[in-house]
Amino acid sequence: LVLLSSILSLAACGKLLVVPLDGSHWLSMREVLDRLSQKGHEVVVVAPEINLHIKPTKNLIMKMYPVPFTQEELDHTFWRTSQEVFEEGTFLERFLKTYERMKNVSATLLSTCTYLLHNKELIRYLEESKFDAVFTDPILPCGQIVAEYLSVPSVVFLQQIPCGLDFEATQCPNPPSYVPRLFTDLTDRMDFLQRVKNLLFDLPNFLLCDFVFQPYAQLASEFLQRKVTVTGLLSQASIWLLKIDFVLHFPRPLMPNMIFIGGVNCAPKKLSQ
């Protein structure tokens, strides 16, 4: 009976591959991974050697790979991005700054994904490890590319993704008359002119998305040896864990595989009353 119970307990545990996004995204994800590790699951994290916060821990198995930039270059890119987030201005000024910011960050993230997929030794290790699932942040589609390559289910963990890709990938309703768009400062209660404004503000997002995510589609098509789109890759995700709630976010439509797991946080803290 003791032997049988020990075997059953092992069978209940899984092997999870994690392809994270650095920064605050990782700090939130790490809380989940620590808890999964404590429950007996084997958690393997694949990350670039040069990063901001993804450091080895005793609970997680880390697989690091080289990238073509230095720590100083990475720190400067994200420092500049953090400064621009709080700058004010007109819609056009904010749009152009957002475009330039996404351009710089996207180039860095794309290079990390490229070096991961081209690392033959690491990819061979992932093939041989027989993972049960991939846990990833869809803002960096690299995790979804790996999940597709390994033919394993994926769980995505996010607050929001630019250009409404989460709505497209899940075929979730996203009406401009109801869901406020970025930079509009609108609420979910709009009159006719505000709905028109909301629709117009949504158009530049397609330009941003095409610039940011099209290189991943090309990279994925080369790696998987068939033509794919980022939306098509994300549509394969089994579960969407959303770090949002209706305290900081407006109500929005959902699909059955979209699950709210609470507001934005990096670690549990005891707050004053």
Residue 95 has pLDDT above 80, yes or no: no
Angle (CA) 228 233 236, round 5°: 135
Residue 71 has pLDDT above 70, yes or no: yes
Sheet arrangement for strand 239-242: 61-65, 42-48, 15-19, 133-136, 154-158, 239-242, 258-260
Most confident of 14-23, 180-189, 251-260: 14-23
What is the per-residue pLDDT for 8? 47
Q: Which stretch of 39-43, 101-105, 176-180, 230-234 has the lowest confidence by average pLDDT?
A: 101-105
Three-class DSSP category at 62: strand
204-239 residues labelled b (16+ CB within 10 A) or e (exposed): bbeebbeebbebbbebbeebeeeebbbbebbeebee
| Mean pLDDT, all residues of the chain | 85
Beta bridge partners of 45: 18, 62
- In this prediction, residue 219 has a pLDDT band, given cuts at 50, 70 and 90, of very high
Q: Which of the two residues, 223 and 97, has the higher pLDDT score?
A: 223
Torsion of CA 159, 165, 170, 171, to 10 degrees: 130
Across the range 240-262, mean pLDDT stands at: 83
Across the range 109-115, mean pLDDT stands at: 93
What is the per-residue pLDDT for 271? 57
To the nearest whole percent, how much of the chain has pLDDT over 90? 45
- In this prediction, residue 4 has a pLDDT band, given cuts at 50, 70 and 90, of very low
Q: Which of the two residues, 106 and 157, has the higher pLDDT score?
A: 157
Across the range 3-30, mean pLDDT stands at: 76
Whole-structure pTM value: 0.83
Please name each of the domains of the chain with its CATH number: 13-260 (3.40.50.2000)
Q: Which of the two residues, 59 and 97, has the higher pLDDT score?
A: 59
Residue 173 has pLDDT above 50, yes or no: yes
What is the per-residue pLDDT for 174? 84
What distance in Å separates the CA atoms of residue 140 and residue 236, rounded to the nearest whole number? 15
Beta bridge partners of 4: none
- In this prediction, residue 135 has a pLDDT band, given cuts at 50, 70 and 90, of very high
Across the range 187-198, mean pLDDT stands at: 88
Nearest to 234 by CA among 163, 139, 115, 96: 139
What is the per-residue pLDDT for 130? 94
